[in-house]
Structure 1
Amino acid sequence: MKMQIVGYMILLVFYLCYFIKMFQQRKQGIQTDHMGKGKQGIQKKIEIMMKGTTIATFIIEILSIYLNTMTFPLIIRIMGIFLGIIGDIVFIASVLTMKDSWRAGVSYEEKTDLITNGIYQISRNPAFLGFDLIYLGMCLMFFNTILLIISLLAMMMFHLQIKYVEEPFLKQEFKEQYLQYYQQVNCYIGKRTGFK
Structure 2
Amino acid sequence: MEILFDYLQISYLAILVIIVLIRVLYLLLIRHINPFVLGRGKRKKTAYRVIEILFSTIIALWSAEILIHSLQINIQILPSFFYVKIFDFLPAKIAGTILIPIGLFLFAWAQISFGDSWRVGIDNDQPGSLITKGAFSFSRNPIFLAIDLYAIGTFLINETIIFLFIGLFIGLIIHYQIINEEKHLKKAYGQIYLDYQLNVRRYLTFRGLSRNDS
TM-score (norm 2): 0.85
Residue 37 (str. 1) matches residue 40 (str. 2): yes
SS in 1 for 2:119: coil
SS in 1 for 2:120: coil
- Select which of 37, 42, 59 maps to 2:64: 59
- Select which of 132, 135, 151 maps to 2:148: 132
Q: CA deviation at 1:64?
A: 2.5
Larger % of helix: which? 1
Residue 162 (str. 1) matches residue 175 (str. 2): no
Q: CA deviation at 1:194?
A: 5.5
Q: Do the aligned residues in 2 keep the contact of 1:33 with 1:103 (CA within 8 Å)?
A: yes
Q: CA deviation at 1:123?
A: 0.2
Q: Do the aligned residues in 2 keep the contact of 1:64 with 1:144 (CA within 8 Å)?
A: no
Structure 2 gaps of 5+ residues are 74-82
Identity of aligned residues (%): 26
Q: Do the aligned residues in 1 keep the contact of 2:96 with 2:152 (CA within 8 Å)?
A: yes
Count of residue pairs brought into register by the alignment:
194
Residue 13 (str. 1) matches residue 18 (str. 2): no
SS in 1 for 2:190: helix
Aligned to 1:81: 97
- Select which of 131, 135, 138 maps to 1:119: 135
Q: Do the aligned residues in 1 keep the contact of 2:113 with 2:135 (CA within 8 Å)?
A: yes
Aligned to 2:201: 186
Q: Deviations over 1:116-175 (max 9, x none)?
A: 0111111000000111111111111112111211221122111111112x1111101100
SS in 2 for 1:93: helix
Q: Which has the larger radius of gyration?
A: 2
RMSD of aligned alpha carbons: 1.8
Aligned residue type for 2:184? F
Q: CA deviation at 1:66?
A: 2.6
Q: CA deviation at 1:94?
A: 0.4
